[in-house]
Amino acid sequence: MKLFRAGTANSGMTEVVPRLAEVEADVQGLVEAHMEKLLGVRFLASEYSTGPLHGGRIDSLGLDENGSPVIVEYKRGTDAGVINQGLFYLAWLMDHRREFEHLVRDRLGVTAASQVLWSGPRLICIAGDYTRYDVHAVREHRRSIDLVRYRLFGSDLLGLETVASVSCMQLARRARCRPIAQAAPGAQGTAMMELATAVDEALLGLGDGVNRVQRKQYRAYQRLRNFACLCPPQRSKLLVYLKVDPADVGLVPGFTRDVSGLGHHGTGDLEVQLRTQKDVERAQDLFRASYATA
């Protein structure tokens, strides 16, 4: 990735040369200070001790938009041990669920602690670079792992690039998708389930590394962060929530709605109402715009 700063007609373009951080802690501090904006993860703790017996310290602990526990590990450059180290801590986390839930309760409240999604814990590795062996290893593990490459540009720019992203939920993608909800009886219910399948295929087909996370109230589609949430079919329509600024969209009554500030399941401020296959086609540009934010 190259970054250029546009100057005047005479000075032309100037390349902003990328660089690595001076020390690993610089990357960690920057990400932890803005974790929700950068990763879609609410920050819980830094340098979390795993106790004298286990003898480790987790770089960062967090909770993502869907309630999944998240471990973030950082390396300044390329380090072959970052994945194994993260998996070591992930195994500890799965054996200390109550301790993690107490941490969530103390930081985010009782409601968040009661909704922790233990079926999909995540490991996010942020490093200067990765080898092809790292990428292959991620695809062989039955865990949700994101490999993210960082670069600093100038004095005030940070770039994050997802190198590989595999979710344990993806293991079921080759099989038939589990319905998001039981179909209502009759032709209308069948039509809504077919519409939900079409939306699912459209969102998964937007690009590589799209993960699907099933919650009781919605199904989230994410790369590093959620970009779409599909709610169970209503009698005559489907609701999809997207990470698109409603102010940037020409809202159409009965099709798109600004729900910022309104309570709803899932994440995203733009509600899209789908009733027919034509609506799914009509929403494709909105799907792509939201995917680009993740």
Q: What is the pLDDT of residues 140-162, one digit of tens each?
A: 888 899 999 999 998 899 999 99
pLDDT in tens, 231-267: 999 889 999 999 999 999 999 999 999 999 898 999 9
Same domain for 275 and 157: no
- Higher per-residue pLDDT: 29 or 14: 29
Q: Report helix, strand or coil for 138.
A: helix
pLDDT at 91 over 70: yes
Same domain for 212 and 249: yes
pLDDT at 180 over 90: no
Q: What percent of the chain has pLDDT over 70?
A: 93
Q: Judge whether 76 lies within some domain.
A: yes
In angstroms, rounded to a whole number, what is the distance separating the alpha carbons of residues 82 and 24?
12
Tell me the mean pLDDT in the region 14-29: 94
The reported pLDDT for the residue numbered 235 is 84
Same domain for 95 and 115: yes
Same domain for 111 and 214: no
Average pLDDT, the chain: 90
pLDDT at 124 over 80: yes
Domain final position from 166, 194, 226: 166
96 DSSP assignment: -
Same domain for 146 and 250: no
Binned at pLDDT 50, 70 and 90, residue 168 comes out as low
Question: Structural domain tally of the chain?
Answer: 2
The reported pLDDT for the residue numbered 175 is 41
pLDDT at 56 over 80: yes
User: How, if at all, do strands 144-153 and 122-127 pair?
Assistant: parallel
Same domain for 139 and 216: no
Burial class of residue 223 (count of CB atoms within 10 Å of its CB; 0-12, 13-18, 19+): buried
The backbone torsions φ and ψ at residue 196, rounded to the nearest 5 degrees and listed phi first, read: -60, -40
Q: What is the CATH number of the domain that holds 136?
A: 3.40.1350.10
Same domain for 66 and 148: yes
Domain final position from 114, 138, 166: 166
Which own/partner contact pairs does 279-282 have at CB distance under 8 Å and 24+ positions apart?
279/255, 280/195, 280/198, 280/199, 280/202, 282/255
Q: Judge whether 6 lies within some domain.
A: no
Same domain for 110 and 231: no
The reported pLDDT for the residue numbered 25 is 96
| H-assigned helices in 15-144 | 24-33, 35-39, 51-54, 82-95, 97-108, 110-114, 132-140
Same domain for 134 and 37: yes
Q: Judge whether 118 lies within some domain.
A: yes
Same domain for 124 and 70: yes
Same domain for 52 and 149: yes
Domain final position from 117, 137, 166: 166
The reported pLDDT for the residue numbered 183 is 52
The reported pLDDT for the residue numbered 174 is 41
pLDDT at 173 over 50: no
Whether this prediction's pTM lies above 0.85 is answered by no
pLDDT at 194 over 80: yes
Range of the domain at 118: 18-166
Binning the chain into helix, strand and coil, the percentages to the nearest 5 are: 35, 30, 35
Q: Judge whether 8 lies within some domain.
A: no
Same domain for 281 and 144: no
